[in-house]
Amino acid sequence: MRRMLSPMSKRRYFGTDGIRGRVGEHPITPEFALALGRAIGASLPRASSVVIGKDTRSSGYLLESALEAGLSASGVNSILVGPLPTPAIALVTRSLGASAGIVISASHNPFEDNGIKLFSSLGEKLDDELELAIEARIDRAVPMVGAADLGRARRHERASEDYLAFLLSMALPGLAAKQHTLLIDAAHGAGYRVAPMLFQRLGFHVRAIGVEPNGLNINAGVGATDLTALKSEHGRSPALAFALDGDGDRLQAITETGRVVDGDDLIYLLALHWKNTGRLKGPVIGTVMSNLGIERALETAGIEFARAAVGDRYVHQMLRETGGTLGGEASGHVLCLDYAPTGDGLLTAVLVLNALTESGRSLDDWLSGLSRFPQRTINVRLPSRDPTLLARETVIAARTAAEKALGTQGRLILRASGTEPLIRVTVEALSDELIAAAIEPLAKAVRDAANA
């Protein structure tokens, strides 16, 4: 197995998926967004253009205005596209020849949170070195340009149509012929308009939920991280169903028979179909969280599998390093680098539909022989981020005991979330009983240490 890429620990503000936090608390404040805008602008050539998009959170307007002002103060122009999925911002950034793209979103988090993530001119997430360079400028007094050199702002009205045109160009003819109805859950998020439009234009009869954002209901009981509403709708009238998260870069699915399908399953399907049709390149890249059953099934099929650190940015880096084009996370981030430089929930849905159409097989059929290891995660919420918690003696002792209990019959992952003040305790093993014996004492030790 290839080495696992690890995130850098020197960053002060950027996590695994941009800068994220509670609105009104540092760093998700208008003051910080203004300073960040000036730092980004100071890192770019004068008179450059930066695309700014967002999801449907009410706080997006506040952060958008502050970022725009900061960019203008550094002599950089803003191109505003409004609410659109994160991958659409990456696409528009690249197609317009902008120097960078900014997405204002906290992805799957509740509306009280928000975040800011950056794309390069190629529509790819910034590497660690560039993020560190921007961070170095945030706390410095970046001089303002003269009045004649201030950046300007304009709206790009065709951004959603450009994104839809790209997605439609990826679809094979006749996708709706076999299964005419699709259920869509857009999480009251950034895909609330384009998701139903895409599948309607492909010829499907679309039943959509999560398409009525009010600024406060994003991800609330809907979307890829909470399938409650979609399962209920599926129960009333079963059909193939897709769920996006709040910013539209994740995808989960439910088959016609009600089987929940995560990112690991989707990667498995695409890997096998592309291998069968001669389109798979390089190894498939997962993360330390990818199910061991997926790894073994791919290896049985003669497909090399490697693991990166958690975060689609690290999956992307390892794909580039190894020459692979397919990878992602169980959460539903799926990277298909032959088609796009970043994870895209709607593109993934189109590629899955393509595979079903080409193969003549249903999603249930594709996954019928897949055997996954039981896996359980307990999220321990922290009063605040504490980088020393996992190094405490009580936590180390509990981890050692859990690993001993698992022996060779399982594995555990203990890590701090890069997007929330959480410690994620994950155990994967041959049985639920073995998981419980290992995970519960370990989670208790982490919780006790956090509250000490």
Q: Which residue numbers are catalytic?
A: 107
| 42 to 37, 73, 98: CA distances (angstroms) | 8, 9, 15
CA distance 29 to 116: 11
| Greatest Cα pair distance in the chain | 69
The neighbour count for residue 338, using CB atoms within 10 Å, is 12
From CA 305, how far away is CA 322, in angstroms rounded?
A: 11
Q: Which two tokens stand for residue 393?
A: 């003696």
3-class DSSP assignment, residue 113: strand
Residue 81 · residue 52 · CB < 8 Å: yes
Q: Please tell me whether residue 255 adopts helix, strand or coil conformation.
A: coil
Q: What is the DSSP string of 143-181?
A: PPPPGGG---EEE-TTHHHHHHHHHHHHSPTTTTTT--E
Cα gap 160→191, rounded to integer Å:
10
Instruction: Look at the block and give the residue holding tokens 């393509």.
Output: 354
Cβ neighbors of 151 (< 8 A, separation 6 or more) are 41, 47, 71, 72, 73, 74, 75, 76, 77, 78
Distance CA 317, CA 352 (A): 23
Written as one string, the DSSP assignment of 187-235 is TTSTTTTHHHHHHHHTT-EEEEES----SS-TTSS-STT--HHHHHHHH
Rounded CA gap, 340 and 273, in Å? Answer: 18
C-alpha R_g of the chain:
22
Distance in angstroms (rounded) separating the CA atoms of residues 328 and 322: 14
**One-letter amino acid of 187:** A
Integer angstrom CA distances of residue 99 from 46, 90, 414: 11, 11, 37
Given a contact cutoff of 8 angstroms between Cβ atoms, the answer to whether 53 and 92 are in contact is: yes
Q: CB atoms < 10 A from the CB of 376, how many?
A: 16
